[in-house]
Copies of this chain bind each other. A is one copy, B any other.
């Protein structure tokens, strides 16, 4: 384990601390999906999480670790998706102001979720440089503290609580699959399993059309994602200097999946588990399905990361 990573006791404390503010999400199983995949599947359903995704785990811990005094002038992030709603909700629970920098072309439902939690939205252009500049402007004028959606050890450590819950519901997993975008969830799952279920192997699913994590690990250095073109909108971001070394050290393999494989997995989750998963939330399952023959009769955990999707605009 690298230096500066939280130890087992620290992760346990974090999980207890954030517990009253999040849902203990269910773990679901399906005999028909087990038959289809040829292994025992344990789905951790973060689509049922507060704000609709796992992101609230890390956001809540990030505000707690900063402490009330440090964020008296508010917190700020840039996100067009699930971390926006999560940080807005976390700020409302701790009683500080959240500012979310969003692109002008943000989905109306995502915008409304953020406003519903009482946060302020500042619009930026639609490219990463614009949003970073806008963040800097707000920070300079307000003294708000920046919280990165994924490349932040406190965010990552909060996400480890998802691993702790899954391990308690499904013991002795042979492997666990999580999606990778910015790498915050994958890093949190990896650290959690290393501490609480050391023998479980960690695998990631990544869209082929946004495969910066795969290319980064292959080349040994961070390769930023430039033109992601995937339906899995939560996985279009790049690894950072905090998430990259954790993933390099602890993840067995990153499995790339096509758009069609993502959509097929998403449809199976909806039809067989009877739950609503967003495209990003189906990527880990797609990765397992693509390689299921390697996991015959094994016990496999699958993280369904979120359920925020426009049901009127489905890909199937």
Binding site for B on A (CB under 8 A): 26, 47-48, 52, 267, 270-271, 274-276, 307, 311-312, 314, 316
Indicate if the CB atoms of B274 and A307 lie closer than 8 Å.
yes
- In Å, the complex CA distance between A26 and B273 comes to 13
**Taking the nearest CB of chain B, how far is it from the CB of A29, in angstroms?**
10
CB atoms of A47 and B274 under 8 A apart = yes
Partner among B52, B275, B316 whose Cβ is within 8 Å of the Cβ of A275: B275
Closest B residue, CB atoms, query A47 = B274
User: What 7 A-B pairs come out closest when comparing CB atoms?
Assistant: A274-B307, A274-B276, A47-B274, A270-B311, A312-B316, A270-B276, A275-B275
Name A48's contact: one of B267, B270, B274, B307 (CB within 8 Å): B274
Closest to A312 in B: B316
What are 20 contact pairs spanning A and B, CB under 8 A? A26-B26, A47-B274, A48-B274, A52-B274, A267-B311, A267-B312, A270-B276, A270-B311, A271-B276, A271-B311, A274-B275, A274-B276, A274-B307, A275-B275, A275-B276, A276-B276, A311-B314, A311-B316, A312-B316, A314-B314
Q: Which residues of B contact A48 (CB under 8 A)?
A: 274
Q: How far is the CA of A7 from the CA of B298 in the complex (A)?
A: 47
Q: A267: which B residues are within 8 A, CB to CB?
A: 311-312
CB distance from A308 to the nearest CB of B (A): 9
Q: Which residue of B lies closest to A45 (CB)?
A: B274
In angstroms, Cα B304 to Cα A275, docked, is 13
Task: Name the B residues within 8 Å of A312 (CB-CB).
Answer: 267, 316
Name the residue on B nearest A275 (C-beta): B275
Chain B residues with Cβ under 8 A from A274's Cβ? 47-48, 52, 275-276, 307
Q: How far is the CA of A41 from the CA of B148 in the complex (A)?
A: 36
Give chain B residues whose Cβ lies under 8 Å from the Cβ of A311.
Answer: 267, 270-271, 314, 316
In the complex, what residues of B have CB within 8 A of residue A275's CB? Answer: 274-276
Q: Which of A48, A274, A316 lies at the interface centre, i.e. has the most chain B CB atoms within 10 A of its CB?
A: A274
Nearest chain B CB to A56 CB, angstrom units: 14
User: Please, how many angstroms separate the alpha-carbon atoms of A173 and B170 in the complex?
Assistant: 34
Task: Report the minimum CB–CB distance from A281 to chain B (whole Å).
Answer: 10
Min distance, Cβ A55 to any Cβ of chain B, angstroms: 15
Q: Which residue of B lies closest to A52 (CB)?
A: B274
Q: CA A52 – CA B47 in complex, angstroms?
A: 20
Q: Told that A47-B274, A267-B312, A275-B275 touch, could you supply 7 new A-B pairs with CB distance under 8 A?
A: A26-B26, A270-B276, A270-B311, A271-B276, A275-B276, A276-B276, A312-B316
Question: What residues of chain B lie closer than 8 Å to A314, measured between beta carbons?
Answer: 311, 314
Which residues on the B side are within 8 Å of A26 (C-beta)? 26
